[in-house]
């Protein structure tokens, strides 16, 4: 029986794997970077329970050589009337909503003809999300990013800490005064711990535009608005003040 014949000729070369195109690789890298950038705020937020953050507006001003004055203070170093007045002025259901006031949002949407006509409905938590991680201005993209961030912030941070961060990163003056301590000293030459109810209301009233509105030199419109906020804060139910737990929480965390 003859042995099977074997072929010793050159075998056909295996086909090389197709090389990935440069545009495809660039697209994949860009998508990976985008995903990382979207996830970074969610990873940073729990750290802000104990770490004092810096807002994107502050970072931009620093990067462009503009003035930034900020002094971070704890909530217990602020006159108690101030956070209550800010809630009365900006976000009446701050203590009860999950970061987004859906009832207010539905009302705003019902009254608006289109997105550009929408005004109001932004909670303090949404403003914290915007100031910490996003950019100023109005756009559908920013709102789409802001909504889940606000829900996440409210989930992982207590209300008192959200308020504390808000007061310390909001812009309170026309020349880069960030944080309520810098704003109070600029407007009234006194620390935030010594603010009166009317002074707190004046500061709350300038929040939409601290560059054009001056708490230290209020016009008739600003004084009228401050009077409204004083009355609102006085009527706010004490039992619904979610900030009263801050002292006990601080004792537990050692802050």
Q: For the residues of 93-128, what is the DSSP string, one character each? A: TTTTSSSS-HHHHHHHHHH-SSGGG------HHHHH
| pLDDT for the residue 42 | 96
| pLDDT for the residue 137 | 78
User: Domain for residue 120, yes or no?
Assistant: yes
| pLDDT for the residue 12 | 57
| pLDDT for the residue 103 | 86
Note the residue count of the chain: 255
| pLDDT for the residue 251 | 44
User: Domain for residue 93, yes or no?
Assistant: yes
**Structure tokens given for 89:** 């002025």
| pLDDT for the residue 4 | 55
Stretches where the chain sits below pLDDT 70 are: 1-20, 111-121, 237-240, 245-255
- Model-level pTM? 0.82
| pLDDT for the residue 5 | 55
Please state the φ and ψ torsions of residue 94, each to the nearest 5 degrees. -55, -40
| pLDDT for the residue 184 | 96
| pLDDT for the residue 1 | 52
User: Domain for residue 31, yes or no?
Assistant: no
Q: Residue 222: which CATH number?
A: 1.10.3810.10
Tell me the residue range of the domain where 130 lies.
Answer: 53-65+80-237
Contacts of 186 (CB under 8 A, 6+ apart): 69, 172, 173, 175, 177, 216
User: Domain for residue 142, yes or no?
Assistant: yes
User: Domain for residue 136, yes or no?
Assistant: yes
The total number of structural domains in the chain stands at 1
User: Domain for residue 33, yes or no?
Assistant: no
Contact of 58 with 70, CB cutoff 8 Å: yes
User: Domain for residue 169, yes or no?
Assistant: yes
User: How many angstroms separate the CA atoms of 78 and 75, rounded?
Assistant: 5
User: Domain for residue 96, yes or no?
Assistant: yes
């Amino acid at each position: 029986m003859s042995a099977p014949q074997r072929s010793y000729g050159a075998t056909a070369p295996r086909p090389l794997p197709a090389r990935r195109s440069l545009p495809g690789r660039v697209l994949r890298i860009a998508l990976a970077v985008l995903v990382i950038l979207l996830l970074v705020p969610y990873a940073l937020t729990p750290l802000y329970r104990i770490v004092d953050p810096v807002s994107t507006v502050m970072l931009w001003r620093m990067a462009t050589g503009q003035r930034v004055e900020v002094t971070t203070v704890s909530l217990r170093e602020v006159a108690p009337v101030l956070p209550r007045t800010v809630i009365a002025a900006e976000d009446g259901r701050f203590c009860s909503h999950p970061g987004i006031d859906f009832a207010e949002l539905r009302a705003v949407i019902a009254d608006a003809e289109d997105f550009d006509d929408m005004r109001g409905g932004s909670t303090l938590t949404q403003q914290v999300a915007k100031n910490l991680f996003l950019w100023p201005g109005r756009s559908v993209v920013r709102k789409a990013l802001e909504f889940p961030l606000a829900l996440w912030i409210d989930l992982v941070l207590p209300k008192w800490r959200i308020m504390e961060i808000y007061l310390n990163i909001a812009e309170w003056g026309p020349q880069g005064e960030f944080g309520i301590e810098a704003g109070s000293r600029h407007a009234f030459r006194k620390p935030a711990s010594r603010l009166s109810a009317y002074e707190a209301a004046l500061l709350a009233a300038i929040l939409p535009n601290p560059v054009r509105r001056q708490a230290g030199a209020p016009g008739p419109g600003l004084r009228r608005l401050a009077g409204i906020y004083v009355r609102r804060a006085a009527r706010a139910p004490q039992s619904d003040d979610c900030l009263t737990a801050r002292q006990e929480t601080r004792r537990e965390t050692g802050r």
